[in-house]
Structure 1
Amino acid sequence: MSLNNTPHSNRLHIALFGRRNSGKSSLVNALTGQEVALVSDIPGTTTDPVLKAMEIHGIGPCLFIDTPGYDDEGELGEMRVTRTWKAIEKADIALLLCHPDMVEELHWIQLLKEKNIPVILLLNKADILEEPEATASEIEKQTGIRPLIVSAKSRVGMKDIRQAIMRHLPEDFDAQSITGHLVSAGDLVLLVMPQDIQAPKGRLILPQVQTLRELLDKKCLVMSCTTDQLEATLQALSRSPKLIITDSQVFKTVYELKPAESMLTSFSVLFAAYKGDIEYYTASTAAIGKLTENSHVLIAEACTHAPLSEDIGRVKLPRLLRKRAGEKLQIDIVSGNDFPTDLKKYDLIIQCGACMFNRKYVLSRIEQAKRQQIPMTNYGVAIAWLNGIPIA
């Protein structure tokens, strides 16, 4: 997969925070070398987060998020600040543009630290500041962090920012693997991929593409088939696959046909570990057995596609849950970035594989559920439990 086609969810998310007219948009343009963000002297020009994908030498694919000013005012201003707050949940690293008085900034630094997000302070507009070094020293006294003195207009300090980003990389950055230790070079892996209406003609869905690419990088021997060709494929192989990866919706069918010695998992289960907390997801399946007709379940989809016939999240999974708990089981469905702040009314949350989200954002949702003591699992893990299928 080329750099330009690297999904946003697989990029390092670097968010810029600051007051209106602090130079965030100009800084994005300076860092990317492109005029991607609208720049104006009028405060509040940036009304929605602006995303720019690029590559930083030594790091790889990144996604810059230019946010509205957190000091915005009025009814629309509050909505913009809410968008800025949501950007925090996705940020792997924060670039915070400082104002000399630091009144607003101290609060936001604390918020970012509470989210365990590395913060890089920037003292922008060095070309017009009277005493930038003295101001930087004062900010360091208040925060314990020495800000970088930069100027988006004259491009001063851009190299320093890139180097600071490299020093603040999350510990697990680039350490995550979709298939983990399940397979290694030379292992035979069979991908069972039903090509239904959720996979547009001529294309594979993102989790399939990413998993296939990783297996090829690991030098595995990869075989692919659709569900109806599984038996014929197994007969054609000279040995049983070490691992079979399938779509969660056909878990039961594949489980009944697979060789006893082959491990079985699904794309959704793999992404549960890759993007989320597989232990919490697995432990939370106990809540499925406690569901009754009076229970309330939240299903969270990352995608915002129009509902399709036999959609797994909106049709198949609810059908399985109601078959077990009762037809009156109440199920709410949210999609995209929509996710309730108050989760206390739910007895269980079921998150999709989240291939469209970065790991930081998925973990923030899981942490939110943990704080409110709400069990949270994943499509694939839940479907495997409902069918009594052990997974690799």
Structure 2
Amino acid sequence: MSGKAPRGVRLVIALAGRRNAGKSSLINALTGQETAIVSDTPGTTTDPVAKHYELLPLGPVTFYDTAGLDDEGELGALRVKATRKVLYRCDVAVIVLGEEGFTDYEKDLLRTIREMDIPHVVAWNKADLRPEEHTPEGLDAPFLHVSAATGRGVDRLKRRLIDSVPPEYRQERLILGDLIREGDHVVCVVPIDLAAPKGRLILPQVQVLREILDCDALGTVVKEREIEAALLGMRTPPALVVTDSQVVMSVAGDVPDDIPLTTFSTLFARYKGDLDSLVAGASAVDTLKDGDTVLIGEACSHHDVADDIGRVKIPRWMAQYTGRDLNFEVYAGHDFPEDLERFALVVHCGACMLNRTEMLRRIAECKRRGVPITNYGVAISKLQGVLQRVLRPFGVMPNTITTPTETPHTISASKLDNIS
């Protein structure tokens, strides 16, 4: 059951430490399964290994077994770098100490984890090999003794992990459940384009539909050409219309202004990130200059299609909107550039394949480096002059948002027809 949960809604717990500290054995003990390969040979785990598990009462989680921090050589350095990438996207970190205790490797790791503000637990493994319990020399953090071999302390470690998770995992986050009530009607506008998976809807659309049902509301799914007829056929106006961002301009023209309207990606900007920050970041579009480089951040790797939203449409619309000669670079999957400062703006996808912690960490990293960040849906709504409207259901109206009449480069409907 836990294996079917979307990756982006899982709690990520990473185990990190030196080689032969017993990280793989500890994951096997935590999950009660022979998940990770265990060997007395240091460096058995080379690349991060994921194990899905149901950690009640939290629900679905992913444990990551990582390479040792003291891995050697050029290849070892790459493995250590991969370990740190896993830490970047984890929600809770477990620092696993081996027989040697708290060495310089763990000190550096603990310092990094604290700088990243990651909740963490220190587990001193192989307690069955020590004559008595004592505090590792130099350790200035709470810890507990465990033995993956005998199971000693493993249940206590599970409870500590549960107590360490971020508050948002203890509370149910809503995508649109706070915007609708039981019995409300919600219309979802879902265009079918080349990027849509054959025979399926994309994950944000599925999650929105599921939440509509969970709220005991009524959901209607139409394509963009059917929205006007669907509205005319309803006895009462819908409580909300949610549209794909790519057709938001045409849908906004067909949906009366008194009917609340937003986009799937804007819902996910709030669900997976920080809507206020992403809206504020969109204002940087108005200050772009010739030669500026814009980062297109994709949370998942996929085949590049002819009219790809992130790689083709957004760059085309942004160049049209600004009238500037801009450069665009795409980073896909969990890759995020270390030299963020060279980008004038980051435009991130809806993050349906990331958990909220990783998305918030990306937003925080951009803020720390002084780089504005927005997401696909917010950016598209701004470029098409409807940002005020799609934000209205949330009550978000910061001073950084400009109206179409205040923005000289807003794309006109005729020009949009020519480039979409």
Instruction: Give TM class, smaller chain.
Output: over 0.9
Distance 1:101 1:161, change over 3 A: closer
d(CA) in 1 for partners of 2:145 and 2:243? 51
* 2:112 aligned counterpart, secondary structure: helix
Q: Distance in 2 between matches of 1:329 and 1:185?
A: 47
Query: Structure 2 CA distance, aligned partners of 1:83 and 1:180?
Result: 37
The letter of the residue matching 1:172 is E
One-letter identity of the residue aligned with 1:31: L
Which consecutive unaligned segments of at least 5 residues does structure 2 have? 392-420
Displacement of 1:327: 6.2
- For each residue in 1:130-187, what CA deviation from the matched residue of structure 2 results, as whole angstroms up to 9, or x when unmatched? 33x12xx345x73141x22211122222211111112112112144221253223222
DSSP-derived class of the 1:292 partner: coil
Distance 2:345 2:181 in 1: 35
Query: Conserved in 2, the CA contact under 8 Å of 1:16 and 1:97?
Result: yes
**Percent sequence identity over aligned pairs:** 44
Preserved CA contact (<8 Å) 1:92 1:117:
yes
C-alpha displacement of 1:59:
1.4
Q: Which residue pairs with 1:280 in the alignment?
A: 277
**Which residue number corresponds to residue 14 of structure 1?**
13
Counterpart position of 1:105: 106
Partner of 1:340: 337
1:79-228 to structure 2, matched below 5 A, reads 79-99=78-98, 100-103=100-103, 104-131=105-132, 133-134=133-134, 137-138=135-136, 142-145=139-142, 147-173=143-169, 174-179=171-176, 181-228=178-225
2:248 and 2:263 in contact (8 A); partners too: yes
Q: How many residues matched?
A: 386
Which shifted more, 166-175 or 277-286?
166-175
* The 10-residue stretch of structure 1 (370-379 or 26-35) with the greater mean CA deviation from structure 2: 26-35
Q: Matched residues in 1 for 2:216 and 2:65: separation?
A: 39
TM-score (norm 2): 0.88
Aligned partners of 1:240 and 1:309: how far apart in 2?
37
Q: Structure 1 stretch 117-126 or stretch 93-102: which is displaced more?
A: 93-102
> Does the CA contact (< 8 Å) of 1:293 and 1:325 recur in 2?
no
Displacement of 1:16 in angstroms is 0.4
Mapped to 1, the partners of 2:156 and 2:210 lie a distance apart of: 34
Check whether the contact 2:101–2:124 (CA below 8 A) recurs between aligned residues: no
Give me the TM-score of the superposition, normalised by structure 1: 0.95
- Structure 1: 5+ residue runs without aligned partners? none
Task: Give, in whole Å, the separation in 1 of the partners of 2:259 and 2:365.
Answer: 36
For residues 138 and 315 of structure 1, do their structure 2 counterparts lie closer, same or farther at Cα, with a shift above 3 Å needed? closer
CA contact (8 A) 2:102 2:136 kept: no
For residues 180-204 of structure 1, what are the alpha-carbon distances to aligned partners after superposition, in whole Å with 9 as ceiling and x for unaligned?
A: 5322322211111112222222111
| 1:326 and 2:323 correspond | yes
CA contact (8 A) 2:177 2:211 kept: no
